[in-house]
């Protein structure tokens, strides 16, 4: 099974630029074209949050318009730039989304079980899951201790070392780790939010953060570093599931010189 992950697409209203500078709408369309042009068709696409930039209904209308070009099944997870009511209204036909409350869900119709956790307290930019959400997660994971499982959430539950990102991180990673820990069937926790690729061993599994299809946060690790970002290189993740396990690839979106002969 091939699973593509797109994250932090930050779609704006038609004709509007992200941060007034970057054409995130065009870049999302290009990311969709990129998936359609892969030599192996993904079986599933995961969109791990920040589908839009300001949570407006018009932005969601534009996301849906752009997603018409994606002829693949996809699942969506909210990010801190999403607005819960507008999000669920726009995706009313995504039956796996709860009608109200935090948007936790489980989709169990693929060879890999998908367990999505809503890490977005309404109106906040940092990540958190309520006690009820953590209990939901425990019960959902307890229901199948065998089937390979991917946990999705927008905020990576660790400190990145990039100071201006860590102000908006998931703060209670320890509580979450205590639920994930010891479950051999959790192949990975897939996140977004940080607009960069990051990997960390965590709670006995691997956490991966997906790059954005639009701006990439600058890699600055000095304390007090000035926040900034770059218009690329945009990328997505391709998670290939086989009987051997999960292999995750970064797939850059754009035109590059080549292909050169291998030998």
**Residues of this chain that bind Fe ion (CB under 5 A):** 8, 50, 79-80, 193
Token pair 């690839």 is at which residue? 249
Least separation, in Å, of the C-beta of 255 and Fe ion? 25
Least separation, in Å, of the C-beta of 21 and Fe ion? 15
Q: Which is nearer to Fe ion, 193 or 196 (CB)?
A: 193
Q: Which is nearer to Fe ion, 50 or 187 (CB)?
A: 50
**Rg, the chain, Cα only:** 18
Least separation, in Å, of the C-beta of 45 and Fe ion? 17
Q: Which is nearer to Fe ion, 176 or 246 (CB)?
A: 176
Least separation, in Å, of the C-beta of 154 and Fe ion? 6
Q: Which is nearer to Fe ion, 49 or 148 (CB)?
A: 49
Q: What's the rounded Cα separation, in Å, for the pair 19 and 115?
A: 32
Least separation, in Å, of the C-beta of 263 and Fe ion? 41
Q: Which is nearer to Fe ion, 159 or 185 (CB)?
A: 159
């Amino acid at each position: 099974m091939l699973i593509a992950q797109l994250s932090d697409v930050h779609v704006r209203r038609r004709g509007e630029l992200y941060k007034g500078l970057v054409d995130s709408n065009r870049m999302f369309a290009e990311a969709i074209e990129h998936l359609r042009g892969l030599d192996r068709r993904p079986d599933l696409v995961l969109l791990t949050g920040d589908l839009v930039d300001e949570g407006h209904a018009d932005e969601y209308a534009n996301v849906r318009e752009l997603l018409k070009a994606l002829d693949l099944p996809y699942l969506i997870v909210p990010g801190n730039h999403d607005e819960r009511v507008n999000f669920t209204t726009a995706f009313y036909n995504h039956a796996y989304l709860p009608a109200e409350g935090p948007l936790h869900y489980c989709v169990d119709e693929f060879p890999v079980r998908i367990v999505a956790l809503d890490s977005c307290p309404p109106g906040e930019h940092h990540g958190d899951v309520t006690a009820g959400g953590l209990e939901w997660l425990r019960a959902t994971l307890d229901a199948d201790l065998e089937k390979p499982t991917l946990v999705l959430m927008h905020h990576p539950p660790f400190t990145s070392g990039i100071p201006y990102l860590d102000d908006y991180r998931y703060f209670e990673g320890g509580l979450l780790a205590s639920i994930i820990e010891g479950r051999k069937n959790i192949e990975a926790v897939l996140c977004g939010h940080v607009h960069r690729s990051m990997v960390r061993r965590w709670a006995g599994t691997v956490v991966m953060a997906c790059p954005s299809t639009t701006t990439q946060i600058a890699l600055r690790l000095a304390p007090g570093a000035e926040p900034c970002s770059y218009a690329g290189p945009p990328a997505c993740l391709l998670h290939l599931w086989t009987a051997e396990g999960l292999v995750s690839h970064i797939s850059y979106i754009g035109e590059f010189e080549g292909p050169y002969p291998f030998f």
